């Protein structure tokens, strides 16, 4: 089947289904064939469920033919990240130390997508316990790579989700983000990804000390597909104690591109971050384009202090908490980089963890002050383009604080919604992402601004140039 069918949006797919010019079964088979072609190079899937996908597609086909379709996601190929429960499949968290017992029930987001008729192709790769901004694990046995240049990483920890959707495997992908794990792979792989306000998308079970920094959301090829999907993902589920009240009906309906008159704050040095020249070379003309379109773009300086002094203990203690539930006889099975940090966290006391928690509202209030004078904040999504797939994460050559999460982690700590939109390619042919951040509950404003940016730059049209 032609590439353009694999890259169709939700609107295009549902339009064809309604007219009968394509069937969900045809589309599912095409995506599964694309998966078979690309997967040896991408290493994006932990589990492929061909039988389940075709069964769901046949059910969707019946609904479309009988006029009882469930909406625009009915028959849409989708993927779920490995660290989320999907009934009938194990939740391995990228680790050989986790049980291979199938999950008894769907996590809330899986349940909502299933209710909307999504066709699940399988579960995508994640690094062990989602600990890093690249994706490799001993469980998968190979690094996950970006379709733009398979010698380079797709990012992480939702690395398989981003790589697959960019390669035309799935129309929508679910990822979750505790430090940048939606936005980093979206940037490295040239996808659009949005981390909504904390609590917007319900999650269960909640058994991690990082539960208050993680938010789930969609990774897609277009902004509108993300908006359509987020509206479904955000439907309520009583199992999530942290979830916020459900949004009103139609809260993301009738979005319109919005750039003119928007007051953007611009902070390439957020928290002391140092973006590389090849990233800034792509972003500088993007800012000029926004100004010509009528936006106000004002440089605002670093806004916040570097995060490491206040939050490293919080990070390490969280890893140690996970390490304690793994039998010591199996510790050496885990990622050596993760194990080193988790062991360091064993000696961190509750006073230091509490100090980090106290620092979070202070960080939040710095952005509250910024959003009194600006509608949205712009930053690079990452300081660098995608590193090589064999990079040693949190090493001298690729430090977590300086090279991976300086732009993304602040908004996990504060709960603000933030998106990464692809805006161009570096001189080496690798995607560059622009991060768009808004006040809490401002997903609509972010999405409308991103629709405007997408319309000005036309980045999604470039996907058709990808070939296996």
Active site residues: 81, 157, 181
Q: What DSSP string describes 24-46?
A: HHHHHHHHHHHHHHHHHHH--EE
How far is 214 from 196, CA to CA, in rounded Å? 10
Q: Where are the beta strands (DSSP E) in 159-310?
A: 172-177, 192-195, 215-220, 263-266, 296-299
Tokens representing residue 6 in the block: 């694999």
Count CB neighbours of 71 within 10 A: 14
**What is the maximum alpha-carbon separation in the chain?**
63
How far is 20 from 1, CA to CA, in rounded Å? 16
In angstroms, the Cα distances linking 319 to 22, 263, 334 are 47, 39, 12
Looking up tokens 């949205």 gives: 376
Cis preceding linkage at 205, omega within 30: yes
Helices (H), 293-432: 308-323, 336-345, 350-370, 410-414
Strand order across the beta sheet in which 172-177 lies: 45-48, 119-124, 77-81, 172-177, 215-220, 192-195, 418-425, 431-437, 376-380, 263-266, 296-299
Coil, strand, or helix at residue 254?
Answer: coil
Tokens representing residue 130 in the block: 């989602």
Residue 162: in which H helix or E strand, if any?
helix 159-166
At 180, phi and psi to the nearest 5? 135, 10
Looking up tokens 């979750």 gives: 176
Count CB neighbours of 15 within 10 A: 14
Q: CB-side exposure of 394: number of CA atoms within 13 Å?
A: 19
Q: Which residues contact 141 (CB under 8 A, 6 or more apart)?
A: none
Helices (H), 305-349: 308-323, 336-345
Measured between its terminal Cα atoms, the distance across the chain in Å is 14
């Amino acid at each position: 089947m032609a590439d353009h069918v694999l890259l169709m949006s939700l609107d295009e797919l549902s339009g064809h289904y309604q007219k009968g010019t394509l069937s969900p079964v045809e589309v599912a088979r095409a995506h599964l064939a694309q998966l078979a072609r690309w997967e040896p190079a991408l290493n994006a899937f932990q589990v492929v469920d061909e039988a389940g996908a075709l069964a769901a597609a046949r059910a969707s086909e019946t609904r479309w033919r009988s006029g009882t379709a469930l909406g625009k996601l009915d028959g849409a190929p989708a993927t779920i990240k490995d660290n989320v429960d999907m009934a009938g499949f194990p939740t391995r968290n990228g680790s050989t130390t986790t049980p291979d017992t199938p999950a008894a029930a769907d996590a809330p987001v899986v349940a909502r997508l299933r209710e909307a008729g999504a066709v699940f192709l399988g579960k995508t790769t994640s690094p062990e316990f989602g600990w890093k901004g690249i994706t490799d694990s001993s469980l998968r046995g190979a690094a996950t790579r970006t379709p733009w240049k398979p010698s380079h990483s797709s990012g992480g920890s939702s690395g398989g989700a981003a790589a697959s959707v960019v390669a035309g495997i799935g129309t929508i992908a679910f990822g979750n983000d505790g430090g940048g794990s939606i936005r980093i792979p979206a940037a490295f792989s040239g996808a659009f990804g949005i981390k909504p306000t904390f609590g917007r998308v319900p999650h269960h079970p909640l058994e991690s000390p990082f539960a208050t920094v993680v938010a789930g959301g969609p990774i897609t090829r277009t902004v509108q597909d993300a908006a359509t999907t987020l509206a479904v993902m955000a439907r309520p589920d009583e199992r999530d104690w942290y979830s916020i009240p459900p949004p009103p009906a139609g809260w993301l309906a009738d979005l319109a591109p919005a750039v003119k008159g928007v007051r953007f704050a611009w902070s390439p040095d957020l928290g002391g971050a140092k973006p590389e020249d090849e990233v800034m070379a792509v972003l500088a003309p993007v800012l000029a384009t926004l100004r010509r379109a009528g936006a106000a773009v004002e440089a605002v300086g670093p806004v916040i202090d570097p995060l490491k002094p206040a939050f490293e203990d919080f990070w390490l203690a969280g890893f140690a908490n996970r390490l304690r539930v793994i039998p010591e006889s199996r510790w050496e099975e885990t990622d050596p980089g993760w194990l080193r940090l988790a062991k360091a966290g064993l000696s961190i006391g509750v006073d230091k963890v509490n100090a980090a928690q106290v620092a979070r509202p202070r960080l939040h209030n710095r952005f509250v002050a910024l959003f009194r004078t600006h509608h949205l904040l712009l930053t690079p999504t990452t300081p660098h383009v995608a590193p090589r797939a064999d990079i040693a994460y949190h090493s001298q050559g690729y430090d977590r604080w300086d090279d991976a999460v300086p732009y993304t982690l602040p908004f996990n700590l504060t709960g603000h919604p933030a998106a990464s939109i692809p805006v161009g390619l570096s001189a080496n042919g690798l995607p560059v992402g622009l991060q768009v951040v808004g006040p809490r509950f401002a997903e609509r404003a972010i999405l409308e601004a991103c629709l405007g940016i997408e319309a000005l730059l036309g980045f999604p049209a470039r996907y058709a140039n990808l070939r296996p």
